[in-house]
């Protein structure tokens, strides 16, 4: 593996999910982003990551943009739920 990420990887469910989790956690405490609910912020990030991945690989079309609106919902929900599950799991580990 010669690179950490590439546009093709970010266009996959796993790649987009990982990047959205990282970007959401990294940016959600910035002053101008704190005003935006985290779930909405993760949707915006999901949409942007997927749009860039499509733009730099296969190219944007009207159909791909519409499809990305829906795919971003899936990635965003998974990113929010995945991080919450991770927090619950690590919190329970403190009790062990």
Look-up: residue for tokens 């860039």?
52
- Among 47, 65, 61, CA closest to 10: 47
Give the domain range for residue 70: 7-94
pLDDT value for 45: 97
Domain membership of residue 81 (yes or no) is yes
Q: Within a domain: residue 24? A: yes
Domain total of the chain: 1
> Is 20 inside any structural domain?
yes
The pTM assigned to this predicted structure is 0.82
Domain for residue 1, yes or no? no
| Cβ atoms of 41 and 27 closer than 8 Å | yes
Residue 84 within any structural domain of the chain: yes
- 27 half-sphere exposure, CB direction, 13 A CA radius: 18
71 belongs to a structural domain: yes
Q: What is the pLDDT of residue 91?
A: 76
pLDDT of residue 81: 82
Query: Is residue 2 included in any domain, yes or no?
Result: no
Residue 27 lies in a domain: yes
Q: Which residues of the chain have pLDDT under 50?
A: none
């Amino acid at each position: 593996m010669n690179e950490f990420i590439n546009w093709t990887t970010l266009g996959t469910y796993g790649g987009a999910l990982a990047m959205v989790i990282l970007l959401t956690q990294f940016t959600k405490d910035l002053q101008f982003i704190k005003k935006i609910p985290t779930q909405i912020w993760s949707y915006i990030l999901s949409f942007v990551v997927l749009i860039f991945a499509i733009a730099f690989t296969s190219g944007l079309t009207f159909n791909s943009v519409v499809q990305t609106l829906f795919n971003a919902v899936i990635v965003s929900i998974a990113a929010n739920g995945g991080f919450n599950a991770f927090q619950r799991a690590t919190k329970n580990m403190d009790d062990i």
